[in-house]
Amino acid sequence: MDSRQITTLIVDDEPIARKLLREELELLPEIAIVGEAANGKEAVQKIRQLQPNLVLLDLQMPVMSGFEVVRSLTGPALPVIVVVTAFDQHAIQAFEAGAVDYLLKPVSEARLKKAIERVKGLLHRPLEIANHLSQIASVNTSGAPPKSRRIVGRNGSDYILLDLDEVLAFQAERELVWIITPRQRLLATQSLRGIEERLRDPCFQRVHRNAIVNVNHVRKLTALTSQRWTITLSNSLQVVVSKRQAHKIREILQW
């Protein structure tokens, strides 16, 4: 296999749809098809196993939808996602949420080529890929919040999608912002203010100019002086709380 080719996984629960898409893709010399998946669960397994550059992902699948597949992706080797759907409204939602492109069934040769050109522009740019997946994972198709919300963290040259539920806190150190989880610290890809504006979640509260905490992980609030408080998180990390914010945290912990 030519290392310059785009390794590609086709995901669709309809065998005919997979066959037609494969036939179109095989006409493109830059594409190397490494596998197919017939449902969302199989797709997640093959993405982890094969680590394709590109996944052509059907949205409407039984048991596990395409959106749920995206929400389940973790790790540094994240693929570019191109949404494939028979329903234009879902395609628009995915595209507006950050999908590189979307293809409406039946997929035309011209639209497929255009989508692949957009994919080429995103390859080898892991931060942008991770941000795209994070946005797609946040698409709301049911009127209820998605079960799993994501944020992008950096570990060396790798960009990793994290579930917000596992984040204990965000801490700023000069120009750096750290994402604190029970097992590791990752660099955030946004400023603390940018994170706060994006979260808009009562579970995450600004407790100091340099810290946002997940109140679900707060275990203790302690007054050190009349002006200085600390909270202890579930991993025993202590975070300074301003006097003004301590009152708000106390109210939240009484829920």
pLDDT in tens, 79-97: 999 988 876 665 555 555 4
Which of 40-49, 138-147, 149-158, 192-201 ranks highest by mean pLDDT? Answer: 40-49
- Domain stop point among 137, 153, 179: 137
Asked if residue 157 is part of any domain, the answer here is no
Tell me which residue range forms the domain holding 74. Answer: 6-137
Determine the average pLDDT of the residues in 55-82. 86
pLDDT greater than 90 at residue 49: yes
Comparing 138 with 74, the larger pLDDT belongs to 74
pLDDT tens-place string over residues 5-19: 999 999 999 999 999
pLDDT greater than 90 at residue 177: yes
Asked if residue 133 is part of any domain, the answer here is yes
Same domain, 125 and 23: yes
Same domain, 127 and 18: yes
Write out the two tokens for 57. Answer: 């992902």
- Domain stop point among 137, 159, 189: 137
Reported pTM: 0.66
What's the CA gap between 190 and 152, in Å, rounded?
9
Number of domains within the chain: 2
pLDDT greater than 80 at residue 248: no
The sign one gets for the Cα dihedral 97, 75, 128, 162 is positive
Closest by CA to 56, choosing from 30, 28, 37, is 37
